[in-house]
């Protein structure tokens, strides 16, 4: 209640259990690990080890968890439920190259997409991860492989609610990786994002930056690489607009609205709107572009 998460934590510890179905009659004791302050990654591997991870999933999950066509493709490279995955040196080299090419292709589809429909404004850098507005990535009944790759490489999880217009409920997300001059965002430089007055939200907005290599939040000395309208220290201008700054060091006097970046490393930004209202959807309100200021 009132933002106190302790009741939810205790309820989870009391009732949440994960175990194999075979152990349902005598489930093992659940162990909860406090990961606060610890580094761990839940990002799938993008090198040759990905194929070994897929083989583990195929082996451990029911046969029907993977459709027959995909099972056939996996079997063609030696991944089968009824046999160990043991690629020889030749196949390991092929798979390593495939992983590298696949990862590079997916990165290009996210950060250099030619899908003009992904751009929320035709003359800006802000894009939407959904292309075509179809959570099945099949507008008109045709699977859009590039749109599916863009979304699934950049994000975690698919919800139809994220792809449809719902005024005053749910959330909307836009992302950008270029500044106003069309240059990729540089962790060694300083930038500003201006959010005009009357942000189109019933709840709050948030600006979060990510690592383009992992598509996870950028790791810095800050607890969270984020500024939001609900954070107590965020400075909101008198006209309800806000300015968010990005850079390795905060501009003088802008510390409350500063998100730290890492020199020598790129980044991209996501604008999150919670309970968005009509000016977002009809585009009468528009966020500023990322401006280089130093």
Neighbours of 9 (CB within 10 A): 11
**pLDDT at residue number 17:** 92
**H or E element, residue 172:** strand 171-176
**pLDDT at residue number 137:** 87
**pLDDT at residue number 161:** 72
Of 28, 25, 31, the residue nearest 12 (C-alpha):
31
What sign for the dihedral angle of Cα 40, 46, 49, 50? positive
Residues 93 and 156: their CA atoms lie apart, in Å, by: 29
For residue 180, what are its two tokens? Answer: 């106003």
The residue extents of the domains of the chain are 20-87, 165-292
**pLDDT at residue number 221:** 92
* Regions in the chain scoring below 50 on pLDDT: none
Please tell me the pTM assigned to this model.
0.85
User: How long, in residues, is the chain?
Assistant: 294
**pLDDT at residue number 155:** 85
For the domain covering 165-292, report its CATH number.
Answer: 2.60.120.600
**pLDDT at residue number 194:** 98
Q: What percent of the chain has pLDDT over 70?
A: 99
Of 126, 120, 127, 133, the residue nearest 160 (C-alpha):
133
* Alpha-carbon dihedral 134, 201, 223, 32, rounded to 10 degrees: -60
- β-sheet with 242-247: strand ranges across: 258-260, 242-247, 191-195, 290-292
Of 208, 167, 216, the residue nearest 41 (C-alpha):
216
């Amino acid at each position: 209640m009132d933002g106190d998460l302790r009741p939810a934590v205790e309820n989870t510890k009391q009732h949440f259990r994960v175990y194999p179905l075979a152990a349902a009659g005598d489930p093992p004791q659940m162990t909860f690990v406090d990961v606060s302050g610890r580094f761990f990654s839940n990002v799938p591997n993008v090198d040759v080890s990905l194929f070994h991870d897929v083989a583990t999933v195929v082996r451990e999950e029911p046969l029907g968890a993977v459709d027959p066509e995909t099972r056939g493709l996996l079997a063609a490279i030696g991944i089968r439920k009824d046999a160990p995955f043991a690629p020889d040196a030749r196949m390991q080299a092929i798979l390593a190259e495939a992983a590298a090419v696949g990862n590079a292709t997916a990165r290009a589809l996210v950060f250099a997409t030619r899908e003009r429909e992904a751009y929320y404004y035709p003359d800006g850098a802000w894009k939407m991860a959904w292309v075509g507005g179809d959570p099945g990535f099949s507008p008109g009944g045709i699977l859009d492989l590039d749109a599916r790759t863009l979304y699934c490489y950049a994000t975690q999880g698919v919800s139809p609610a994220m792809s449809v217009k719902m005024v005053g409920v749910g959330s909307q997300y836009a992302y950008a990786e270029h500044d106003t001059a069309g240059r990729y965002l540089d962790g060694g430089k300083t930038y500003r994002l201006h959010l005009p007055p009357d942000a189109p939200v019933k709840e709050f907005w948030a600006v979060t930056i990510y690592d383009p290599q992992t598509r996870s939040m950028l790791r810095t000395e800050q607890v969270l690489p984020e500024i939001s309208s609900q954070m107590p220290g965020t400075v909101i201008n008198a006209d309800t607009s806000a300015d968010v700054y990005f850079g390795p060091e905060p501009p003088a006097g802008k510390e409350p609205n500063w998100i730290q970046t890492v020199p020598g490393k790129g980044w991209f930004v996501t604008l999150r709107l919670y309970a968005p209202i009509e000016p977002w959807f009809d585009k009468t309100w528009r966020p500023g572009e990322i401006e280089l200021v130093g």
